[in-house]
Chain A
Amino acid sequence: MLRWLARRFAQIIPTLIVLSVMIFGLQQLMPGDPAMILAGEERGDPVVLAQIRAELRLDRSLPEQYLHWIGNVLVGDFGFSWRIREPVANLILQKLPVTFQLSAMAFIIAVLIGVPAGILSATRRDRPADWIANGIALFGISMPNFWLGIMMILLFSVELGWLPPSGYVPLTEDFWQSIATTIMPAFVLGTGVASVLMRHTRAAMLGALAQDYVRTARAKGVVERVVVWKHALRNALIPVVTLGTIEFGRLLAGAVLTEQIFTIPGFGKLIVDAVFNRDYPVVQGVVLATALIFVTLSLIADLLYMAVNPRMRQA
């Protein structure tokens, strides 16, 4: 077990090094001169452009720029935002909890809808409940987030006046207000995942219900409820848990669009605005942090496997 963990951690380090090079390199492929973007309408003065390039080390070679950045990152300094001069680490720490809250709420909504719907649809296979669940799932996957978002704002904020149309209040400031500002975006974000979870739960459940041990259990006279919940579901959940953690990571990334619509000042909005403003240190810092989160999540998924499936503990 410990050896497995050590090996797992050893794999993470080269992954992160390769990632950091890719993050830095890909960004250089983006067209547009950051100094000129920073100058905006004042780009007419070549002296100022030269000063910006010198200050931001844009006049150095790429390897030099990379080593300077990664060297600072290793000692915990992510640099500062070129646009607003805030330290990138502060921005990440400020925005990460926001997106985390949004994703967690979206995930809860997705699990609450997706898993029961999947079970229901598997146990009532080819009956109206199955068809309805499948129809709703298809709708959930195909509906564009921005459209659903705008429609919800129009209904719940403009027409009914129940919820604030956009913005964000931290949990620590006002719990209920915080829930009120995040419930609509969380729902919009969660619908897609709920559909994916529903489809996978259904497939896994159908597979499990066809297994020999389920037939044996039924033959022994075990009541159907126990067969479904105890025997089939536990086994069916293994792939769903893997998928769930990956989907949670995707939620963090998928928050980009939802955060734009609802003006939620989270991670997604931070990176989109940084890309458009060519605010390189922010882009690099955020992507690197996201990569770290993904790597950590896949580690958690492996650990969860072990918790769910005892056979893997001996491996």
Chain B
Amino acid sequence: MLWIGVHLPALSLECFVATLAPELPAGEQLVDDLDDIDLVGPVALIAQHRIVAANDAARASGVRCGQKRATALGLAPHLRLGEADPARDEAALMAVAHVLMGFTPAVSFGGDHVVLAEVQASLRYFGGLPRLVERLRAELAPLGHALRLACAPTPQGAQWMAVGGDDASFVADKARWRARVGAVPVARMAAAAPHRAALDALGLATAADLCRQPRAGLTRRFGSQLLADIDRALGDQPDPRTALQPAPVFDSRLELFMRADDSAALLTGAAVLLNRLTAWATAHHGLVGGFELRLHHESRRRMIEDPSLRTTTLDIGLGEPVADTAHLHALLRERLQRLPLAFSVIEMSLHCHSITPGAPPNTELFPSAASVGEGWSRLLERFEARLGAHNIQRLQPVADHRPERATAVRVGGDAAPARTRGAGQPLNLAPPLNMAASGDPAHWPRLKRPVWLLRQPQPLRDEAGTPLLAGKPLWLVAGPERIESGWWDGGYAARDYFIAQDHEGALLWVYRFRHAPEVSETGWYLQGRFG
């Protein structure tokens, strides 16, 4: 087992900064990393009127976590304060998880802004751990978060190492791993948080200190969770994690801190959403075929009473599906610049359900039957997704003499359950003739049914017993073949079929009712054509 823990130490602040309009001279430049946060000036987050996070610029002015709002504003008058929003953080964390899902399906949240991923099975594919980590960093970079990465043999260990920002190198050796876990300070342990004062008073500072104490006593005082966490970190206790699943439809919203009145301000926010979109596509190993950007306008204005004016929707379809943020960004910029904004925007959301499976599989030198079949069913899946299952039809002969019931239609691609239109016992015909051996098609066995059947038999004009098609007489050249069947299922048919030739030589399949004089439907009908 090899777990990678990704810790985002400044996630909440970064998410808040992303909603700010840039005040930089290079206005279109995005916030890339922690250093740029300081360029936007002092920023802090508050929860319940107390500072919970502050950037370097704010800290330089003396703003500290735990201060009251008024104190902080007194220290730094230009401080921009935002509410801490766990939902906003979670959306950003989900994007990080989506990127990790591009590497392994076993991705889970570790709590405390940590995402954990088990990558043992992916090492070979990505060419070893160092390359994988390098690539992971490169793919996480567009999201613009400060990262701390750690590799560990257990998820709990990866969590603690990532939070601590320790040496990221992976330790497989059991004794060395124990030593490293032993050095983890209790401050990093979530289970120790309520007992910090007591632990400090006892002089228990690290995991090793805790391990040296009698277990029964520790459990009685501090609960079983603390020791269980250490056991899990050491690998002495199983630690199953439920893997996250990427959502089937992408939906992400971003509330803007300031009203956005121009496309540059909108693009800054949209870039965040686009990065999340591509991360989501990565998790699906797919490409984005189009998306919808909804701009929510300020609704307090009296002018916007019409609900349809409260949002502007930009529907962007792509000719060729891509997973390239830069391309999507360029497309969006084109559209936004042409968009007249009637009202300022306070919130935007991005919606995408059009994802196409990624690049076709590598072609083999000699295509195998398996790869051919896979590509074929994937093609049918795409047709089904776009055209609807009812437009993808397979044919199945049915044991029934009536031509209108002799073919059952099964709709949908390979994956679809067998829903057949038309009832009856499926007929297993003899396997197709071996064409290579059968030689000249002119000597094939006689074709008994026409290839093309009309959905509704076409009534033909009857002139003295001769059927007329479009005013021209038809010559009957073979027949009759009597089909009389179905008195038991309500579809009674008693018809005499003939093969007819029209004036140009084409062969048709026509019939007339056996009891023609008695029923109202007299005369000839065209049933099919020998295509």
Say if A and B assemble together.
Answer: no
